[in-house]
Amino acid sequence: MHEMRVKMEDAGKRVDNVTTKYAVALKPEMEISRSLIQRMIEKGEVLLNGATVKTGHKVKPDDRIGIDLERLENESTMEHDRKIPKAEKLPLDIIYEDDDILIVNKPAGMVVHPACGNYSGTLVNALLNYPGFLTKFNEPRLSADLSSEARRAKEEAFPPKADPPLAEAEAETTNACQAKPSAKAAWRRRDERRVMRPGIVHRLDKDTSGIMLVAKTGVALRKLSNQLKQRTIGKKYLAVVRGIIDLDEGIINAPISHDKKIRKRMAIDEEEGKESVTYYRVLKRNKDKNFTILEVRPKTGRTHQIRIHFSHIGHPILGDTLYNGPVVQGLSRQALHAKSISFIHPTKNTLMEFSADLPPDLKCLTL
C-alpha cells in the first residue's frame, strides 16, 4: 500500500478529489479518472489513515491516503480497455467518399463518438466496421516500453503538433490534477483521443440529424481540423423554432458557458462565457401552428450553441425540452438538422460542398 500525505493546500477537500490529484501526479502515464478512484474507495481499496472512508469525506492536513498501486494500474488498464471502441455492423448513410474523406448523413439518436454511458452504437463504432475507413486510427495507445524506432515511427505518423482540438463544439473536460503532465502522459492522452474519436473532425448532438465530415487519414484530419479552428468550414442548419420571428434575418451574439446548476445544460454567461455568434434567416413562417423555419449559420461552434441561443431569445427549438422547447406530437427530438457543409478538400485544395436531405420526421413537420 502506497501512502500519500495530505498537503495543507488540500485540507478540507473531498478525499476522492485529493486522491485523484495525487494519483495522477504519481502516475501521469495512466489514464486515471475520478470515477475510477471513487470505485476503488467504495470497494475499500483506498484507505484514509488506515481505515475505509466515504468518497465525500473531507481530508485534513497530514492525513494518510493509502492506495494499492498495482490494483490502481490494473483498474486503469481495465477501464481503458472497456472504453476502446469496437467495430459494429451499423448502417451508414454515405453521401460521398474518396481516399481522404467521408461525408456521412448521421441519423438523430446516434452518438458521434464513445463517451460516458455510450460506448456502443456510435458513429465511430460504425466507421470502424466500414471497409473504406482506415483503421490505423484505431491503433492501441503508446506503451511505455516501445523501442525508440517504434516511437519515432509513431511520432512521424502522428506528430504532436498535428493533434488538433476537436470542434469548438465539444466542451473540454479537465482532470482533477492540474500539475504539468509529462511528455509520456501527453502522448497517451493524444493517442487516447485518436482511439476514441478516430477521424472525427466535428460533432453533432445525439438528437441532431444531418451531415458530418469525417477524415480517413491523419493528414486529412489535421488539415480539416485546422480549417475548423480557423472557422473556414461553412455549416448550415435547418431549425424549427417556437413562435413567429419578425426579422427576416438576424444575429445572436451571446457568450456561452456551462450551466452552474444543471450539468447537462449550457447557459448564457456574460461574465465567464466564450464568444458565441449565430446568424439566421427566415425560410418560412407558419402562423397557424406558431412556428418559424430558419436557416442557421453558426460562426462559432460552442456546445449546444444553436439550441441555447434560440431559447435565449424566446424562440426555443421544437422538441428541445432541455432548453424549454415545446413537445410536438410525432417528434421525439429537437427539430434541428445539419443540412450542408462546405470546406477545402485536404489534398485536392478545391472547394467542396455537400448537403443532406431532411429526415422524414422533419419533412412532415415543415410541410
Q: Is the dihedral of CA 307, 309, 312, 316 positive or negative?
A: negative
The cell numbers describing 70, all together, are: 498495482
Residue 205 designated active-site? yes
The one-letter code for the residue type at 297 is R
Please list, in sequence order, all residues whose beta carbon lies within 8 angstroms of the beta carbon of residue 174, skipping any fewer than 6 positions away: none
Q: At 106, give phi and psi (nearest 5°).
A: -80, 130
Cα-Cα end-to-end distance for the chain: 67
Kind plus residue range of the DSSP H or E element containing 294:
strand 291-298
Burial of 56 (0-12, 13-18, 19+ CB in 10 A): exposed
Residues in the chain: 367
Q: Check: CB of residue 123 under 8 Å from CB of residue 212.
A: yes
Taking the CA atoms of the chain, what radius of gyration do you get in angstroms?
23
Write down the catalytic residue from 16, 63, 205, 320: 205
277-286 and 209-215 strand pairing: unpaired
Collapsed DSSP state (helix, strand, coil) of residue 254: coil
Cβ atoms within 10 Å of 92's Cβ, excluding its own: 18
The residues that are catalytic are: 205
